[in-house]
Amino acid sequence: AVKLLIDPYTGRIVDFNRAAEEYYGYSRDELKEMTIFDLNTLPRDEVLGMMEIVLKRGKLNIIFEHKLKSGEIRDVEVYSGPVTQNNKRLLHTIVHDVTELQKTQRKLVEQERTYRTLFTAVPDPLFLIDQETGRLLDANKGAERVYGYTKSEFLERTIVSISDEPEKTEAALREPSAYIPIRWHRRKNGAPFPVELTTNSFIMQGKPVIMCTARDISDRVKNEKQLKESLMLLEAIFQNAAVGIALVGTNGQFEKVNEGLAHMIGVSADDILGADCQDVFASAVHGISSIEIQNFLSGKTSTLSYEEPYSTKDGRRIWLNVTGTPISDDGANGQSGAILITRDVTKRREAEDQLHKTNEDLLHKNEELDRFSQTVAHDLKNPLSVISGLADLVQNDVESIETSELLDIITHVKQATSKMHALIESLLELSRVEDADIKIEQLDMKQILDSVIDQIQPTLEKEGASLTRPETLPMCYGYAPWIENVWINYISNAVKYGGSPPEIVIESESENENVVFHVKDNGRGIPPDKIDQLFRPFTRLESKKAEGHGLGLSIVRRIIDRLGGETFVSSEVSKGSTFSFTLPANPPDDGTT
């Protein structure tokens, strides 16, 4: 140790040891000529004052800065006390170099100052915790603000006492460091709230302590809950929407698909997830969708909208309406994908088709009505004119008319009224076919045809007609009274428009789920441009033997339509005609039509 003997009144260094020479760097002769003021960096008066205190108190222990010969300033700890030598009071001083210790202490002080500044300035709650006991050693202003306790109240509590999950908090004290995304703590008023915890343990003053940051995440948890609820709602809407919804990436692949789309096109959502949307929609009948989607995803078009028929994977034929909306991207690409909305518009298209058909039917009805008006007016006018003329004749010459003439007049009147009655009956029959409720039954077509031939046998004999028919006819389904009418119309027409004499051939055949019946004649045939008109009401072919009002074949067509069959004609000029109709070979589901 460095030892100095100092005159407290003059500051002269009276004596010193070898260690003093080595420490300060001066020679013995140099030190003998020096005073303590040459070594101590304090002003002379302050140093004299310190020495006076030592003389009065008897001892002093203090830190000074001493200057070495090299100019270096060192921190020294001085122990000084008075001694008497040769009746003169001197100060015996022991000097220890504490420069490194002072540096360490100054660093610790600076660290403490920094720690205190940070501890106070951080807005989040900060706690210093005794790791062994859990006692709170310190708490910042953020903790006071969030938890509602004062600092003094915190220092009387443990970290467990402010936790709403004490067992988990106890376990966390044993961890050297931890990040806990969410832990529930309790405020002074008893209200629980979520915090995000970060802990680090270290040794302070020989004891293990924990620095704990507790961030109040109430708003974040609330927002996350609302976001989760919103996402759940959106997912529910997405999955249960009545339309098909799909998220498509820029590569054209399905990234998310709802059940509505999957069900619509007859697949499961997993089957098309990750598939190319152009491949999935490749079943579109006209292929429009593939081009539209390709142009849309490549950016050639900014919108997507098309509607076309589609064949589903489970064999259905539907109409799809597809619209696309791009998903904006703030990056350079400008688009990060698209949302496709798909609607099954089959019912609407069917309704439109039905409306179109209804309009066409209405147009045909109007045309029929026009022909009806003209024909009825013509066909009723002639017999009415005859009746009116004969009535005038009788009225004017009633006294001079012979009985035989009167009988002729009555005969003509009856013929005229019969024509009018026949027209009215035909019109009523046409109407009944439209509105009647009938029961579909299995038909014994041979028996029906036998009955028809019996009815028209006089006509066949009168015209000298021959009729060839098969011995057996296939079974089918229909309504017997109507089918009898069909046979009468077809065979009667074959007689009217046949050759001289008429030759009629009846044939039948099975075709898929139908039975086809044919009535062939040897007439002069029908021009191709006239065939389409045959089944229209009030249409009559030119023939000397043709009578009636042109309603027969139109009634036939409506009967067969009601029974689920078809009517058609094949003919060649000069080679005769074949009138045909079909009936179902199997019964309908409910037996009615």
- Span 34-46, mean pLDDT? 95
Element (H, E) at 518: strand 514-520
pLDDT in tens, 311-345: 888 888 899 998 888 887 655 455 678 899 999 99
Residue in 287, 291, 310 with CA at minimum distance from that of residue 300: 291
Please tell me if the domain spanning 2-103 has the same topology as the one spanning 436-584.
no
Three-state secondary structure string covering 372-435: HHHHHHHHHHHHHHHHHHHHHHHHHCCCCCCHHHHHHHHHHHHHHHHHHHHHHHHHHHHHHHHH
Q: Looking at the predicted structure, is the pLDDT value of residue 34 above 90? A: yes
**Cβ(525)–Cβ(571) under 8 Å?**
yes
pLDDT in tens, 124-159: 999 999 999 999 999 999 999 999 999 999 999 999
Average confidence (pLDDT) over 55-67: 92
d(C-alpha 246, C-alpha 238), whole Å: 9
- The CATH code of domain 436-584 reads 3.30.565.10
**What pLDDT is recorded for position 305?**
85
Q: What is the pLDDT of residue 378?
A: 57
The answer on pLDDT for 212 being more than 90 is yes
pLDDT at 361 over 60: yes
Is the pLDDT score of 367 beyond 80? no
| Mean pLDDT along residues 157-185 | 93
Residue 414, pLDDT above cutoff 90: no
CA distance 247 to 343: 15
Q: Would you say residue 255 has pLDDT above 70?
A: yes
Token pair listed for 360: 């066409």
* Residue 545: per-residue pLDDT: 46
pLDDT category, 292, cuts 50, 70, 90?
Answer: confident
H-run or E-run covering 78: strand 73-85
d(CA 376, CA 330): 76
- The span from the CA of 539 to the CA of 533, in Å, is 7
Residue 543 has a pLDDT of: 46
| 485-538 pLDDT per residue, tens | 899 989 999 999 899 999 999 999 998 899 999 999 999 988 888 877 676 655
Q: Which residues pair with 576 in a beta bridge?
A: 572
- Is 27 in a helix, a strand, or coil? coil
350-432: CATH, from 1.10.287.130, 1.10.760.10, 3.30.1540.20, 3.40.1190.20? 1.10.287.130
Average pLDDT over residues 285-299: 69
Supply φ then ψ for residue 508, to 5 degrees: -150, 160
Token readout for 135 is 């006692």
Q: Residue 345: its pLDDT value, please?
A: 94
Predicted confidence at residue 544, as pLDDT, reads: 44
CA distance 532 to 393: 45
pLDDT top residue among 119 and 38: 38
Q: What's the confidence (pLDDT) of residue 376?
A: 61
Q: What is the mean pLDDT of the chain?
A: 86
For the sheet with 254-257, list strands across it.
254-257, 244-248, 335-344, 317-328, 304-311
What is the rounded average pLDDT of the residues 170-174? 90
Name the CATH code of domain 2-103 (choices 3.30.360.10, 2.40.30.10, 3.40.50.300, 3.30.450.20): 3.30.450.20
Average the pLDDT over each of 171-185, 492-506, 533-547 and give the range with the smallest value: 533-547
**Topology of domain 122-221, CATH:** Beta-Lactamase (3.30.450)
- 208 Cβ contact partners less than 8 Å away, ≥ 6 residues apart: 130, 131, 132, 201, 202
Sketch the domain layout of the chain as residue ranges.
Answer: 2-103, 122-221, 233-338, 350-432, 436-584
| pLDDT at 548 (0 to 100) | 47
pLDDT of residue 176 exceeding 60, the answer is: yes
Q: Would you list the DSSP string of 525-566?
A: ---HHHHTTTTSTT-----TT--S-S-HHHHHHHHHHHTT--
What's the pLDDT at 549?
46
How far is residue 62 from each of residues 78, 93, 94, 109, measured CA to CA in Å? 5, 11, 11, 18
Question: Residues 84-124: pLDDT tens digits?
Answer: 998 999 999 999 999 998 898 888 778 777 777 778 888 99
Long-range contacts of the stretch 182-185 (C-beta < 8 A, 24+) = 182/217, 182/221, 185/147, 185/214
* Residue 277 in this model has a pLDDT that exceeds 90: no
Provide the CATH number for the domain formed by 233-338 in this structure. 3.30.450.20
- How many other CB atoms are found less than 10 A from the CB of residue 178? 17
